[in-house]
Structure 1
Amino acid sequence: MALYHDLELKVYNSLTGEKEIFKPIHEGKVGMYVCGPTVYNYVHLGNCRTFISFDLIYRYLKHLGYQVRYVRNITDVGHMVDDVDEGEDKIAKRARIEQIEPMEIVQKYTINFHQILKQFNNLPPSIEPTATGHIIEQIEIIQQIINNGFAYEINGSVYFDVEKYNTSHNYGILSGRKIEDLMSNTRDLDGQSDKKNPLDFALWKKAEPQHIMRWTSPWGDGFPGWHLECTAMSTKYLGSHFDIHGGGMDLKFPHHECEIAQNEASTGNSPVNYWMHANMLTLNGKKMSKSTGNNILPNELFSGKNTILSKAISPAVARFFILQAHYRSILDFSDEAILASERGFFRLMDAVKSLPNLSPSNHSSIDIHSWKQKCYNAMNDDFNSPILIAHLFDAVKMINLIKENKETISASDLTEFTKLINAFVFEVLGLENVEEQQGDNKKLEGVLNMLIGMRNEARANKDFALSDHIRDELLKLGIQLKDGKEGTSFLL
C-alpha cells in the first residue's frame, strides 16, 4: 500500500498563507506545474535553487506513492526585457549580441539548462513543453477571454482588462495587493501606451517590422504575452483545475497573479489548489546581480573558476547545501557556509558507506521506529528538508555508536535502518552516490602521494632544494605536508 494512505502531508499554500492538509483532486495522482526558465542566458544559481526545491517536492510525492505528472515549461518566445509590455525582446537582444539566430540562442541555453540540472541530479519533468509549440492554444485562450469580455484589441495588440475583471473577481488574491494601491502607483503612466489602464497586461503584442519572433493571429502578426504561455501549457496537460503550481517567489506578482486572472477569465475556474513559492538565494548577504559582480554561475561553482569561493564545489555538495535550508526561507551562499556544508556532506556519506559493515545483535538498544517517524514528520511538514537532514545526522551518531559497540541493533532493524537512510539520502534528497563524489578526491590523493614519493627520493639523494620546493609549492596551494616517524602525510 502506498505511504500516502497512512501519512498526512501538509503544504504551505501561498494563496491562503497557511499550511493545509494535501488532498489531490484525483486519488493517488498529482498534477504539478512549475514555471521553467526563459532560455536567453546561462541559468544562474538562484534559478537552480527553485528547480532543486521542486525536485525535492517531486521526489517526495513519488516516494509517498503518488503518480505525479510534473510539467515544467521552457520559455522560448522572446518576451520583453524585465518582463514588461514595452522594450526589447530578451531572446532577440541576446541573438543580436552573440550574432546568431534567436532559435540558436534558445537551443544553446536550453542545452545548458538541462546539463546543469542533470549535474545537480534533478529528475527530468514528465512533460517539458515549449511556448513556441503552443501558440495555437494561446491564441484560443485569448479569443475566449475576449469573448467573455475581459480583454480588448487595439492596434494589433490584445490587453487584459484588469479593472473590468476586478469588478467580479479579485485581482490580487495571490499576492495580497489591492488594485487601488496598484492604480495609484502606476497612474503617472496614463496615456503612454494603447492600454485603457496601466495595470492591463499584454495577452498578444503586435510585432513591429524589426521583430524577428512573430506568428500570425486573428489580430495580426505578433507574439504572445509572457503570462499567457503558462496558462496555456499548464491547463493543456493538467486540466483547467490542478493540484500544485510552483515557481520562484519573484513570480508571485505579477506572473502568477496574472495566470489566475487569465484562467478565471477564460474558464471561470480558479486553476490551482496549492500555490507554492521557493525563496531567493543571496550571495554574501546581498542579492545576486550580474551587474554588480555579486553573482556566481553553477559551472563557476563546480570548476572553482571564480573569485568568490576558495575551492571548487561538487554539484552534490551544492545540492546538499541548498536542501539544508527550507525552500521558503532565504538562503545566503558564502564560502564559509558551503565549506561547512561540504564537511557535513562527507560525514553523512561516510556513515552511509559504513552501513553494510555494521554487525547486528540479538536485540536493538536504539529506537529505529521513533527515528523513522521523526524523518517522515519533517517531510510531511511542508517538505522540511533541513529537519530531515538533522535527523539524518542523528542517524550518523547512532551508526558511530554501533560501530564503537556502545549501542546495538538487531538484524531486522538494521535492514530497515539501511533501507530508510538510503531512501531519504538518495531517493528523497536526491544526493549523488558517495563513490562518484569522492572520485576527484581519490585522484588528488594519488597525485599527492606521487609528489610525496618524488620528495622522498629527492631527500634520499640529498637534493634538499627540490624537496623544499615541492613542500613550499604545495603549501601555497593550501596543502601542508607533515613528516613523522611513519612517513609523510598531507593535510588539505
Structure 2
Amino acid sequence: MEHPLNIYNTLTRKKEPFVPLHEPFVGMYVCGPTVYGDAHLGHARPAITFDLLFRYLSHLGYKVRYVRNITDVGHLENDADEGEDKIAKKARLEQLEPMEVVQYYLNRYHNAMEALNVLPPSIEPHASGHIIEQIELVKQILDNGFAYESEGSIYFDVEKYNKTHHYGKLSGRNIDELLNTTRALDGQEEKRNSVDFALWKCAAPEHIMRWPSPWSNGFPGWHCECTAMGRKYLGEQFDIHGGGMDLIFPHHECEIAQAVASQGKDAVRYWMHNNMITINGQKMGKSLGNFITLDQFFQGAHESLQQAYSPMTIRFFILQAHYRSTVDFSNEALQASEKGLARLMEATANLDKLIPSATSSIDVKGLRAKCYEAMNDDLNSPIVISYLFDATRGINSVLAGQATISGEDLEELKSVFHLFLFDILGLKEETAGTENNNEAYEKAIDMLLSLRMQAKANKDWVTADKIRNELTALGFVIKDTKEGFEWKLNK
C-alpha cells in the first residue's frame, strides 16, 4: 500500500508521512467526553475531526481500531488534583447515582453524534470499567521509582522523571523552570512539588465514587485512564492519539510520562490535536460558561442564536476550516455555511438532471486527484470543499445550457461528489420533517407551477404572472427550463 497521507505530529511539530506500525492495521485513540452535561459545539469539533480521519483511513484501505473513551470518574474540577469529581458533584446536586448521571448524558451525547453523522468508534471504554487496569499501571510506575505515596494517595514524581526523560516535550513547556518557581509548598501539602499529578487519590469520607486499592479506598487520577485503556485495546505502542489542543497540557503530557515511566518507552507515534471553537475570541467551554449545547443549535433555543441550525450545517461549518485552525462562532458564519451546504447539495441533485453530450466543454478530469491531494495534505477539508464548489459552477453551466458534459465525465463527477461529499466528509441530505420539507408541500408547489405552465400555454398571462409573483414574494426562486420548471425556497 502506498502512503500518500501526511499528518501534522504535535510531538515533532511538523507534517510527517503516515506509516502505521502494523500495516494495514491502525490503532487510533481519541479522548472522549466527560459526561456530566450536554455536549456543546466544542465537543463537536474533535468528534467530527477524528471522524474525518477515521473515514479517510478506512477509505484508504486501513483496518482501523478506533478507541474513544468515556470519562466517568476521576476528572476533578481543576487540573491541580483539587476540588470535587465533576460527575460526583452533579450526582450530589441532582440527588442521583453517579452512573445515572453518566448514562443520561451519554445517551444524549450519542444522539448528538448520530445527528452529526459521526460514526461510532470501534470500542468506547469507560474509565470506571477499567479500575483494575489503572491500579496495575500505578503499581508499575511505583515499582519503577517514578511515583510516591502520600496519605493514601499516589503522585507522579515529575522532578525525578525529568532527570532521565523529558517532561514537557509535547507541550514545549520548561519544566525545570516551573519546578524552581513552585518548590516552596505548604507543610500540609501532600505533593512534593505542585507540578506532580495524582495517579490515585484517597477518597474523602463524603466522596461517592471509590474503589479498594493497595493504598486506600479511592479513585484513579484523570490522566491514568487513557494510558491504561490505550494499552489494553491498542497495545504498548500504537499509531495515533488525538484530542483537542486544550488537552496537550497537562493531560497528554501526563499520558506520555505515565507510558514511559511504566513500560520504558513512548506509547504513541503520532499526536494529533484539533484547535478550539471560540466565541468572540474566547474558548467555548463549560468551565467558562459561554457554551451553546448542540441541542440548542439544532432547536435555535439560545439567546445568541438567530435561528436553528441543522446538524449538517454544524458539521459543514466545522469542516470548512482546517482542523488545526481556530473557528470563531457567529450567526453570520453559520448562515453562510448553511447556504454553502445547500448549494453543494443542490449541485449533487442536479447531476441527475444533466443530459450527457458527445463531448465535454467543462474540465472534469483532475478533480478526483486534487481532492485526494488536499486530503493527503493533513486532512485539508476546506480545500476539498473549494474544489467541489468549483465543480458546482460547471454543473450549473451545463444545467443552464451554457456548457456540455460527456457521459463518461458525468459519471466521474457523480462518483467524486458521492465519495468526497458523503463518504469522506460525512455530509448527508437532511429532511427536517416540517411542512417546508414534506412530500405534500413539494407536491403542492409542483401543482401550482403546473397550473402556471398550463396558463402560459393558454396565453393566460395574468394567471401565470400572478402565480409566479406570489410564489416569488414568499421566497421561492422559479426557473423555466426546456423540460418545464425548477424551483427552490431561498433561506
Fold shared, TM-score > 0.5 on shorter chain: yes
Match of 1:370 among 366, 373, 391: 366
Contact 2:52-2:424 at 8 Å conserved across structures: yes
* 1:215 shift after superposition: 0.5
CA distance in structure 2 between the partners assigned to 1:82 and 1:228 by the alignment: 16
Q: Residues 294 and 144 (structure 1 numbering): CA distance in 2 closer, same or farther, change over 3 Å? A: closer
**1:488 — aligned with what?**
470
* 1:7 shift after superposition: 5.5
**1:237 — aligned with what?**
233
Match of 2:176 among 177, 180, 190: 180
**1:457 — aligned with what?**
none
RMSD of aligned alpha carbons: 2.2
Alignment of 1:140-289 (within 5 A): 140-289=136-285
1:210 partner amino acid: E
* 1:103 shift after superposition: 1.1
* 1:184 shift after superposition: 4.0
Match of 2:336 among 324, 340, 355: 340
1:426 partner amino acid: F
**2:85 — aligned with what?**
89
2:112 partner amino acid: I
Q: Structure 1: any 5+ residue segments left out of the alignment?
A: 454-482
* 1:27 shift after superposition: 1.4
Q: Residues 407 and 190 (structure 1 numbering): CA distance in 2 closer, same or farther, change over 3 Å? A: farther
Match of 2:299 among 303, 307, 318: 303
* 1:190 shift after superposition: 4.8
Contact 2:154-2:200 at 8 Å conserved across structures: yes
CA distance in structure 2 between the partners assigned to 1:355 and 1:280 by the alignment: 36
Q: How many residues align?
A: 456
CA distance in structure 2 between the partners assigned to 1:437 and 1:21 by the alignment: 41
Residue 424 (structure 2) pairs with residue 442 (structure 1): no
* 1:365 shift after superposition: 3.2
Contact 1:83-1:226 at 8 Å conserved across structures: no
2:252 partner amino acid: H
Residue 405 (structure 2) pairs with residue 413 (structure 1): no
Contact 2:42-2:285 at 8 Å conserved across structures: no
Q: Residues 98 and 147 (structure 1 numbering): CA distance in 2 closer, same or farther, change over 3 Å? A: same
1:260 partner amino acid: I
Residue 29 (structure 2) pairs with residue 30 (structure 1): no
**1:456 — aligned with what?**
none
**1:58 — aligned with what?**
54
* 1:439 shift after superposition: 6.0
- The range that moved more, 412-421 or 55-64, is 412-421
**1:389 — aligned with what?**
385
TM normalised by structure 2 equals 0.88
Contact 2:359-2:404 at 8 Å conserved across structures: yes
Match of 1:113 among 104, 109, 116: 109
* 1:129 shift after superposition: 0.4
- The range that moved more, 410-419 or 291-300, is 291-300
Q: Residues 437 and 374 (structure 1 numbering): CA distance in 2 closer, same or farther, change over 3 Å? A: farther
Identity of aligned residues (%): 58
SS at match of 1:276: strand
Q: Residues 405 and 485 (structure 1 numbering): CA distance in 2 closer, same or farther, change over 3 Å? A: closer
TM normalised by structure 1 equals 0.88
Q: Structure 2: any 5+ residue segments left out of the alignment?
A: 449-464, 476-490
SS at match of 1:488: helix
1:280 partner amino acid: M
SS at match of 1:369: coil
CA distance in structure 1 between the partners assigned to 2:71 and 2:168 by the alignment: 24
User: 1:293-323: per-residue Cα shift (whole Å, max 9, x none)?
Assistant: 6331111110011111211110011100110
1:274 partner amino acid: Y
Q: Residues 236 and 362 (structure 1 numbering): CA distance in 2 closer, same or farther, change over 3 Å? A: same
Residue 13 (structure 2) pairs with residue 13 (structure 1): no
CA distance in structure 2 between the partners assigned to 1:385 and 1:170 by the alignment: 34
* 1:241 shift after superposition: 0.6
Point out 4+ residue stretches in structure 1 off by more than 6 angstroms.
none
* 1:486 shift after superposition: 4.1
**1:460 — aligned with what?**
none
